[in-house]
Structure 1
Amino acid sequence: MQFAAIADIHGNHPALAAVLADIRAQGISDIVDLGDCFSGPLGAGKTADLLIPFALPTVRGNHDRYLIEQKPEAMHASDKVAHEQLLPHHLDWLRSLPTKLVYQEEAYLCHATPGDDNLYWLESVAPEGHVFLKPQEEIEALAEGIDFPLILCGHTHIPRAVRLSHGRLIVNPGSVGCPAYNDEKPYPHKVETGHPMASYAILEKSASGWTPYFRNVPYDHMAMSTLAKANGRPDWAAALATGRMPPF
């Protein structure tokens, strides 16, 4: 059994197109999507038109939720830019998404954690802003009651795999469309991959269990960096150009 996992596209339609092409080139037809599909100062409408017809098993992310729960005037900048591009049927598709699902009776899917779409599962943030691998017991606690061999989450944009008890494996495939970002909670911090490529993962089951293969795909990231700058987001422009964030 083999399939691909994508997450955190954030309205980056050329990155999504490049990843879908790379998945096809690997001979893989089955794909799951871990959410945060459209929000960002890029091409939300074009991303929706590309993604939705694939009818992928998809869970709703926190930014997907913001787009359907908040009024435009209350939205943060990235969500507001995306909302202005989305048509009613795009928003209806977001409303139809579950917060979690099980794929092929093998993989549990959620965006961030099972109970909170805005909580880091595999990472913690120190008061001084350092992002580090969360202690094993804290990761295990969030996985309590999830009795599937493979668990998939996104949200932090950091490709990572952690082995859990009883052989379970939890995997974050990384971000298709946003290789770095700043956040203020729980403390001001940066998440940076250090490269501008689009990330995703291939999951393969063998006699010994599930193995993730992380892939990074080049695309015209500078075009998206230029678009982000034109839309008033120099922070996104830096992230898309380099995979790093400018100083706070």
Structure 2
Amino acid sequence: MKIAVLADIHGNLTALDAVLADCARHGVDQLVILGDHFSGPLLPFETAERLISLAPTAIAGNHERQLLSQSFHEMGESDRFTCRALAPHHFDWMTRLPATLRLENDILLVHGPPTSDTAYFLETVSAEGLRPATQAEIVTRAEGTDARLILCGHTHIQRTVAFGGGRLALNPGSVGLPAYEDNEPFPHQISNASPHARYARLNGVDGSWAASFHTVAYDWEQAAQIAERNGRSDWARALRTGRL
């Protein structure tokens, strides 16, 4: 069985379509998406239409929760743009997304760590900056679940970490946004240093899973121009370069 693992599309339909085409070329059996589907100054309406038509196995990220729970004035700029663009049936679809989901008995889908959609799982942010999380930190963050394979998103960084006696945590990277900055819990930047769309594939053989990471070229100039037309030069630079 082949599973494609996607996360953090952020309304980048051009990148999503390129990843879906790559999945089709490699005979993917199941599509799994780990949240933050639409939010961003690109094509949230069109991305929502595409995803809903695919009926993927999907969970909510922090942006879905924010779009459903925050008032318009509480939202950040990307969520406000998305809120104005989406239709009622898109919000209905989001309300049905779970925060976490168990798949194939041994796989857990989460956005951040199992208990939070805003904390980081495989990275740690401190006053000194961003670094890979330690084994001890990951073990602590995975407490409460016995899943052998945990699929997470949120940080947009492709990474796989073995921990806790044969368990594995995997972040497929971001389909739609290769760089961003955040001020919580301390100011930091994520920069993947290239504009490619990113995802992962899982191959199931005899009860175990082999993971592979993939970067996909697409027309990121088109996406950057959409961001510029919508007043987001910061997104345009990130989309063109993978840097801030």
* TM-score bracket for this pair, using the shorter chain length: over 0.9
SS in 2 for 1:118: coil
Q: d(CA) in 2 for partners of 1:223 and 1:82?
A: 19
TM-score (normalizing by structure 1)? 0.95
State the partner residue of 1:19.
Answer: 19
Q: d(CA) in 2 for partners of 1:29 and 1:212?
A: 15
Identity over aligned pairs, percent:
46
State the partner residue of 2:228.
Answer: 229
Measured against aligned partners, the alpha-carbon deviations of 1:156-187 in whole angstroms (never above 9, x if no partner) come to 00000000112111000000000000000111
State the partner residue of 1:34.
Answer: 34
Q: d(CA) in 1 for partners of 2:34 and 2:153?
A: 6
Aligned AA (1:107)? I
SS in 2 for 1:169: strand
Measured against aligned partners, the alpha-carbon deviations of 1:63-109 in whole angstroms (never above 9, x if no partner) come to 11111111222211100111111000001111110000011213100
Cα deviation, residue 208, structure 1: 8.5
1:134-145 matched pairs, under 5 angstroms: 134-145=133-144
TM-score (normalizing by structure 2)? 0.97
Contact 1:114 1:142 in 2 (8 A): yes
Q: Verify: 1:177 aligned to 2:176, yes or no.
A: yes
Q: Verify: 1:107 aligned to 2:118, yes or no.
A: no
Aligned AA (1:193)? N
Measured against aligned partners, the alpha-carbon deviations of 1:2-39 in whole angstroms (never above 9, x if no partner) come to 21100000000111111111001001121111000000
State the partner residue of 1:96.
Answer: 96
Cα deviation, residue 209, structure 1: 3.2
State the partner residue of 1:48.
Answer: 48
State the partner residue of 1:217.
Answer: 216
Q: d(CA) in 2 for partners of 1:175 and 1:188?
A: 20
What runs of 5+ residues in structure 2 fail to find an aligned partner?
A: none
Q: d(CA) in 1 for partners of 2:105 and 2:208?
A: 14
The farther-off stretch of 13-22 and 206-215 is 206-215
State the partner residue of 2:190.
Answer: 191
Q: d(CA) in 1 for partners of 2:242 and 2:38?
A: 19
Cα deviation, residue 54, structure 1: 1.3
Q: d(CA) in 1 for partners of 2:175 and 2:44?
A: 14
Q: d(CA) in 2 for partners of 1:90 and 1:201?
A: 26
Q: d(CA) in 1 for partners of 2:29 and 2:207?
A: 23
Contact 2:2 2:27 in 1 (8 A): no
Cα deviation, residue 126, structure 1: 2.8
The farther-off stretch of 53-62 and 171-180 is 53-62
Q: Verify: 1:132 aligned to 2:128, yes or no.
A: no
Q: d(CA) in 2 for partners of 1:86 and 1:15?
A: 19
What runs of 5+ residues in structure 1 fail to find an aligned partner?
A: none
Contact 1:169 1:210 in 2 (8 A): no
State the partner residue of 2:150.
Answer: 151
State the partner residue of 1:62.
Answer: 62
Cα deviation, residue 207, structure 1: 4.9
State the partner residue of 1:161.
Answer: 160
SS in 2 for 1:166: coil
SS in 2 for 1:194: coil
Q: d(CA) in 2 for partners of 1:185 and 1:51?
A: 29
State the partner residue of 2:81.
Answer: 81
Aligned AA (1:140)? V
Q: d(CA) in 2 for partners of 1:89 and 1:113?
A: 29
SS in 1 for 2:160: strand
CA RMSD of aligned residues (A): 1.2
